[in-house]
Structures are given as structure tokens and as C-alpha cells.
């Protein structure tokens, strides 16, 4: 199994290519973008402690990337087809419809470890190119693969634990004012469409069937 899955090492090359185009999209939308928000965003409070599950997204993604790569070839290829297609669509949207947010608080009511981490996040991650939320979309993609796999987290408890972490990650995007509810909804819609194309019809990633 390990020898068989290693032939797909090249799929990881997508991520550095994605980062290059994401950087270009950031430069492209730096000074001109459409502001995305709805009235409901104003009713969502800023909760700085959600910075913890927000940052947890990075080891969450890395762990499951490796877990599927080595333990479940079939679901790994499908998951990658799902994620890479969605991330490519996100890049196209960013260039065709430059977008951003104006939701971040100008100051914080408290000064603690969490707010300091949020300040670092705000300094390193611009509020542009937010639709649909890749944080949310990729989390959904991993959870779909987790529930389909019989080799990665085979026990029910593990699947639901991953789901709980996923829910916290998704919630963190709006409680930190990193995303609008529009971005979250857009991620769910794109995930639903790609789920049909990848897992139901096999139109994408057909070789993994």
C-alpha cells in the first residue's frame, strides 16, 4: 500500500503552486476590491479565544493530508480532487471578482494572549480574497473524506471528534471577523457542488473510482 500511494507524491506540488497564485491574487486586489458582508455579520460578536481553533486548522489539515496519503489511497485522491478543484475555483473568483471585508474591530476591549495572537493574524493575513472561505471549504473537504474512509479514524468517536474540531474551526472564521457569513455559505455551496461532481458522478477525479 505504501509503495502504491507514494506514486501520488506529485499531488503535493499543487500547494506551492497555489500559494504563488494566491500571492498574485493578493497583489491584484490590494487596492481595489468589492466589500462583502450582510447585516447578520454585525450581530456576531468578536470572540478572541476562537483564535485557537482558527490556528488549529493548519495542523488539522497537515495531519489528515499525511494520514490519507499513507493510509487510504482511494480517499486521498478523491479528497485531493475535491480540495484542488475548489481552491482553483477560489483563485479564479479572486481574479474575476476581487473581494474583501470591512469587519475587523479597530480596537480590542481586552488585552490578553488571544487578542495578541489575533493582532498577529491581522498583520499577516489581509482581509481580501475571502469568498468563498478556503478555511471552511477545506475543513469540509477533510471531514467528508474522514466519514467516507474506513482506514483513517475508523472508530466513530474519532470521526465525531474530528467533526467537533471542524465545527470550531468553521465558527472561528466569523467570530474572529476573518470572514462574512456570505463567505461561509459560499464555501458550503461550493462543497456541495463538488461533492456531487467528485463523489457522486465521478466527473472529477474519476481515476480514483
Q: How many residues does the chain have?
A: 209
- Measured between alpha carbons, how far is 181 from 184 in angstroms, rounded to an integer? 5
The count of structural domains within the chain is 1
- Measured between alpha carbons, how far is 160 from 61 in angstroms, rounded to an integer? 16
Tell me whether strands 34-35 and 99-100 are parallel, antiparallel or unpaired: parallel
Residue 109 falls inside a structural domain: yes
The grid coordinates listed for 114 are: 488571544
- Measured between alpha carbons, how far is 15 from 99 in angstroms, rounded to an integer? 22
pLDDT for the residue 154 = 85
Residue 191 falls inside a structural domain: yes
The grid coordinates listed for 39 are: 447585516
Residue 1 falls inside a structural domain: no
Per-residue pLDDT, averaged over 35-42, amounts to 90
Residue 16 falls inside a structural domain: no
pLDDT tens digit sequence for 126-171: 899 999 999 999 999 999 999 999 999 888 899 999 999 999 999 9
What is the chain's percent helix, strand, coil content, to nearest 5?
Answer: 70, 0, 25
Strands (E), 14-97: 34-35
Residue 73 falls inside a structural domain: yes
Residue 174 falls inside a structural domain: yes
Residue 29 falls inside a structural domain: no
pLDDT tens digit sequence for 180-203: 999 999 999 999 999 999 998 876
Residue 170's domain comprises 58-208
Residue 2 falls inside a structural domain: no
Selection from 172, 209, 190 nearest residue 82 by Cα:
190
Selection from 141, 176, 199 nearest residue 55 by Cα:
176
Amino acid at each position: 500500500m505504501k509503495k502504491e500511494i507514494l506514486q501520488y507524491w506529485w499531488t503535493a506540488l499543487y500547494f506551492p503552486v497555489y500559494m504563488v497564485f494566491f500571492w498574485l491574487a493578493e497583489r491584484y486586489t490590494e487596492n481595489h476590491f468589492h466589500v462583502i458582508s450582510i447585516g447578520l455579520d454585525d450581530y456576531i460578536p468578536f470572540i478572541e479565544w476562537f483564535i485557537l481553533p482558527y490556528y488549529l486548522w493548519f495542523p488539522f489539515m497537515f495531519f489528515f493530508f499525511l494520514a490519507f496519503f499513507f493510509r487510504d489511497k482511494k480517499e486521498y485522491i478523491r479528497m485531493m480532487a475535491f480540495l484542488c478543484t475548489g481552491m482553483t475555483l477560489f483563485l479564479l473568483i479572486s481574479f474575476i471578482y476581487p473581494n474583501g471585508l470591512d469587519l475587523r474591530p479597530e480596537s480590542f476591549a481586552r488585552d490578553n494572549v488571544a487578542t495578541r495572537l489575533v493582532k498577529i493574524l491581522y498583520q499577516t493575513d489581509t482581509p481580501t480574497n475571502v469568498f468563498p472561505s478556503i478555511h471552511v471549504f477545506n475543513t469540509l473537504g477533510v471531514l467528508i473524506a474522514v466519514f467516507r474512509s474506513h482506514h483513517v479514524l475508523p472508530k466513530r468517536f474519532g470521526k465525531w471528534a474530528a467533526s467537533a474540531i471542524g465545527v470550531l474551526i468553521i465558527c472561528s472564521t466569523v467570530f474572529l471577523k476573518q470572514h462574512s457569513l456570505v463567505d461561509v455559505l459560499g464555501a458550503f455551496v461550493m462543497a456541495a457542488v463538488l461533492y456531487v461532481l467528485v463523489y457522486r458522478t465521478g466527473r472529477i477525479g474519476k481515476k480514483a473510482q
